[in-house]
Structure 1
């Protein structure tokens, strides 16, 4: 059985801000044990909803380029900062592309 959490391995080499890897890991934990939905559209909806739940904002409507979340602060200058633009343009698309590969293969 393919799991949604399989999409999170490996972690990206680049992040937007220091909170991003912690969000990645929290999302991975949130979907642990969930079967990969049968369509890319369903995976995309699930991942966006998971991000919204983990970070506490609606990525589709939030206009700020980044948000601060105390739970993702683990040291460093931008610690706890989540770069929403990187999630929109790189990180979520990476997960969706991985799902597309899993579902077509």
Structure 2
């Protein structure tokens, strides 16, 4: 089972592009909340924890296609909404793949 520092490293490399100024702020908040927890024993548990903390930070389930993000993340003192498509198509899949590599469910070396 990975330790807290290994979990924190999943968040070290950020996506290259964000859809909203709130996205990197939310990324940091999610990272802090995930890293404050006892490290999950499996990648599946990590992804469940990640999704719970994302809902906590951004206020909605990013996979709910019918939902619209409300301005809930403070950016320079102003509330901003995260860009849900970025979280749906980049952030969650990226962190899921990294967790699966960390937990040994995916190979880490490229052929």
Aligned CA RMSD, in angstroms, stands at 2.3
Name the counterpart of 1:45: 48
SS at 1:31's partner residue?
A: helix
Question: How does the TM-score come out when normalised to structure 1?
Answer: 0.79
How far off its partner does 1:56 sit? 1.6
CA contact (8 A) 2:15 2:90 kept: no
User: Structure 1, residues 42-101: CA drift from partner, whole Å, max 9, x if none?
Assistant: 1111110000011122223362454322x422289xx72201111011101111111111
Q: How does 1:18-29 map to 2 (within 5 A)?
A: 18-29=21-32
Name the counterpart of 1:94: 94
Name the counterpart of 1:17: 20
Q: 1:60 aligns with which of 63, 69, 81?
A: 63
Question: Unmatched 5+ residue regions in structure 1?
Answer: none
Q: How does 1:28-39 map to 2 (within 5 A)?
A: 28-39=31-42
Question: How does the TM-score come out when normalised to structure 2?
Answer: 0.76
In the comparison of the two structures, how many residue pairs are matched? 102
Q: Distance in 2 between matches of 1:66 and 1:56?
A: 7
CA contact (8 A) 2:43 2:103 kept: yes
